[in-house]
Amino acid sequence: MANKRRQVVDDAELKRRRAQSQRDKARNRREEVATFRAITRGLQRTLAQVNKPTQLVVKTQRIAVPDGNRFNISHASIMGARSDKFMRDIAGLFNNTKYSDARILIRDVILPVHKSVICIQSEYFEKAFQESFIEGSSGELGFNEGSGAAHWRVLEYMYTGDYSDDLSSNFEDDPPLLKDPRVYALADMFFLEDLKALSTIKMQKKLQTLWTCDSFPDCIREIYASTPNSDHAMRSAVIEVARVHVRELGKKAIFKDLIREGGEFAVDFFESITYGEPLETESLETEPWETPQKWSWS
């Protein structure tokens, strides 16, 4: 009799648990549907704020939800919104200790970084943070030479895809015409080709007005000192401006002094005003030449 009563109790408990399980599943189903609908509404609001119409035509993909309801949302729209959010999230990690697993010391300023963000973009950082190196085991990398502001801008770019002209960090900033060339030089060291292109574009824009500054010759000197002869992008930016404004610059003593120094800039400048062609890999033949009289620098 005791066994039968125990069996009856066990059966009742089993029925109760099954009923509770069914109620839990129903509740979870309702929560899933509510969550999906909230996400859908958010996406629709985001897409409604887009001002520029797109020419891309994408086949609408129907998305099934647990309760059988269906919503028509393009796959491209979902991925676009997700990509934008992902980029904002990554940008939000710049100079943020959240999830940080390494530190970069720029002189005395500590910048928390995330290896998964910087190492995947730069072979330099990937190798530096390998376990076989001290930096890899300590999780700390220091830069005590060069422009602290330029180092900061490079790291800012790696998180945000851009860098600020005005810094709020604790660095003495570089002169206006040296900001982008110094970023360019570091981008070359860190194997960041996209950043080299961006800094060149920024430099070209500044030179439209700042070529008249007395610091322009010093800018040219630094660009030529910090780039190899085979790297023409930043060099071409200053050569083109000097060629276009040769008459105005030729009246300035500080620019004449730069020409008298000779070197690669003088050769490239001579080629540009003589032939009007872009910089070539090969230099002029090493034979004596005279400056055309109409471009006299005396």
The CATH number that applies at residue 144 is 3.30.710.10
Spell 135-161 as b/e; 16+ CB within 10 A means b.
Answer: bbeeeebebeeebbbbbbbbbbbbbbe
pLDDT of 224 over the 50 cut: yes
If one counts every other C-beta atom within 10 angstroms of the C-beta of residue 227, the result is 19
Residues 97 and 182 occupy one common structural domain: yes
Whether residues 98 and 189 fall in one domain: yes
* Same domain assignment for residues 144 and 119: yes
One domain for residues 151 and 225: no
Instruction: Decide which of 34 and 276 is more confident.
Output: 276
Residue 272 has pLDDT above 70, yes or no: yes
The residue-averaged pLDDT of 182-199 equals 97
Q: Are residues 103 and 139 in contact, defined by beta-carbon separation less than 8 angstroms?
A: yes
pLDDT band at 39 (very low <50, low <70, confident <90, very high): low
Residues 155 and 239 in one domain: no
Evaluate if pTM is beyond 0.75. no
What Cα–Cα distance (Å) separates residue 25 from each residue in 18, 29, 63, 138? 11, 6, 21, 48
Please check whether residue 153 lies inside any domain of the structure. yes
Work out the number of other CB atoms within 10 angstroms of the CB of residue 126. Answer: 14
Token code pair at residue 292: 């055309």
Is residue 142 located within the same domain as residue 167? Answer: yes
Assess whether 139 and 190 both reside in one domain.
Answer: yes
Q: Verify that 87 and 98 share a domain, yes or no.
A: no
Same domain, 180 and 225: no
Shared domain for 84 and 167, answered yes or no, is: no
Residue 150 lies in a domain: yes
Written as six digits, the tokens of 70 are 């269906």
* Band of pLDDT at residue 38, cut at 50, 70 and 90: low
- Split at pLDDT 50, 70, 90, the class of 6 is low
Give the DSSP letter of residue 141: E
- Say how many domains are in the chain: 3
Rounded distance between C-alpha atoms, residue 30 and residue 45, angstroms = 23
Residue 125 three-state SS: helix
Question: Which of 191, 206, 221 is a domain's end point?
Answer: 206
- At 140 the three-state DSSP class reads strand
Helices 176-189 and 148-160 pack at an angle, to 10 degrees, of: 70
- Same-domain check for residues 97 and 169: yes
Beta-bridged to residue 143, according to DSSP, are 106
- When pLDDT is averaged across residues 257-267 and rounded to a whole number, the result is 96
> 112 forms bridges with which residues in the sheet?
103
Query: Given a cut of 80, is residue 264 above it in pLDDT?
Result: yes
Whether 195 and 187 have beta carbons less than 8 Å apart is answered as: yes
In a domain, 275, yes or no: yes
Lowest-confidence pick of 49-63, 64-78, 251-265: 49-63
pLDDT of residue 54: 46
Look up the domain containing 225 and give its range: 211-298
3-state secondary structure 53-118: CCCCCCCEEEEECCCCCEEEEEHHHHHHHHHHHHHHHHHCCCCCCCCCCEEEEECCEEEEECHHHH
For the purposes of burial, counting CB atoms within 10 Å of the CB of 195, is it exposed (0-12), middle (13-18) or buried (19 or more)? buried
In the block, residue with structure tokens 């985001």: 46
